[in-house]
Amino acid sequence: MAVLNKTSFGKVVSVRSSVIDVQFCECLPEIYTQLRAGEDEQIIIEVVSHLSDEIVRGIALTPTSGLARGSTVINTGHTLQVPVGKRLLGRMFNVFGDAIDGKETLNGGEWRSIHQASIPLSQQSTFAEILETGIKIIDVLAPLERGGKAGLFGGAGVGKTVLITEMIHNMVSQHSGISLFCGIGERNREAEELYREMQDAGVLDNTVLMFGQMNEPPGARFRVGHAAMTMAEYFRDDARQDVLLLIDNIFRFIQAGQEVSGLMGQLPSRVGYQPTLSTELAELEERISSSAKGAITSVQAVYVPADDFTDPAAVHTFGHLSASIVLSRKRASEGFYPAVDPLRSSSKMLTLTIAGKRHYQIAQAVRQTLANYEDLKDIIAMLGIEELSVNDRKTVYRARRLERFLTQPFFSTEQFIGKAGKLVSLSAALDGCERILNDEFSEYPEAALYMIGGIDEVK
């Protein structure tokens, strides 16, 4: 760890929940400086504002039990730091860079501040390129951008975390890149399950896990995204590798900021959110980019409160994304997994110049067919499919087969569904969609296309 410089001692003036006011007579610490207090210096405080020329206000990133007025506070002279390097692979950390996987602690080596500036625009890559995930419905209808940001939108229990686990598996097996999982405000149970699942799937050695869990103070949850970004930036800039950064859940980052804002006594904005919501989100999101050295591609689970897409948290997140993958509770209840809504999901990559003419035309035809089927559902419910015209009936048959073909067994769910996981290339997925649109499988039962990989597996 960094040696203490400009060390000065302060005294606690007041403690209100996680908000600590500290008086320094000599040298006032700068904003974001890390302070330590308590018996074994276990209480970590981050300076967030200067109240006067002697008093600073900080947010505690650890529980404050035992802290009282008059307690001594040490100015460390540096911001919060985390370790970087290849030594992180296969390990699990908290926001302070401490290993929480029960293995040996990391001491020495390089540590970097979690507060880094984003790459200047002049150094960012302007070349748009599609990143294949091996998941049919995403690659065909909402392809991800290499070095871009994709959002996984959905309420509770529609399969966000399962989809993220599958993407980690495919990233390691397909692109031999580094996956960095950042859990913000997630349950302890989920962290422990994810660790074991990755160990069983054999992808842990190429993954770094970073958690700020639900039971931790809001200050720690608010900074865990910045800590993970610092680790990811090392692999992009120094190791020159592509990084898949998975954030579960970006809404919890906004929520932690809301709690910090409330503790600081700031006046709330719309729907009770912090007035600095857009700035805080932008500071984190703008660090996710690609350069000539490598790319950080981010997939972010976004919990949508009460499935309301007009919520400020969802609206502000949408603005940063190049692809939006919307998960639907209705599709999940119908047994279509992954439960991606093909009509509400979209991607800026799906244009003639980037995706190519064939991909663009097939995706548009698939979407058109499914949209027409959606329009016909009311008539079918009232009058029956027999009352439709011949052309409409063909549309319905195609759409129902497309819906089933776009389902896929995952490697991460093998033990639950009893089917081996499938990784499907983009060309194979496009071939399948094209052949279904050309009525090649009109004689086959719909069930033959359900939960398969490539179209050649139809029996």
Q: Which residues are catalytic?
A: 160, 186-187
Phi-psi region of 439 (alpha: psi -120 to 50; beta: other; left: phi over 0): left
3-state helix/strand/coil string of the chain: CCCCCCCCEEEEEEEECCEEEEEECCCCCCCCEEEEECCCCCEEEEEEEECCCCEEEEEECCCCCCCCCCCEEEEEEEECEEECCHHHCCCEECCCCCECCCCCCCCCCCEEECCCCCCCHHHECCCCCEECCCCHHHHHHCCEECCCEEEEEECCCCCHHHHHHHHHHHHHHHHCCEEEEEEECCCHHHHHHHHHHHHHHCCHHHEEEEEECCCCCHHHHHHHHHHHHHHHHHHHHCCCCCEEEEEECHHHHHHHHHHHHHHCCCCCCHHHCCCCHHHHHHHHHCCCCEECCCEEEEEEEEECHHHCCCCHHHHHHHCCCCEEEEECHHHHHCCCCCCECCCCCEECCCCHHHHCHHHHHHHHHHHHHHHHHHHHHHHHHHHCHHHCCHHHHHHHHHHHHHHHHCCCCCHHHHHHHCCCCCCCCHHHHHHHHHHHHCCCCCCCCHHHHCCCCCHHHCC
**Euclidean distance between CA atoms 120 and 312, whole angstroms:** 28
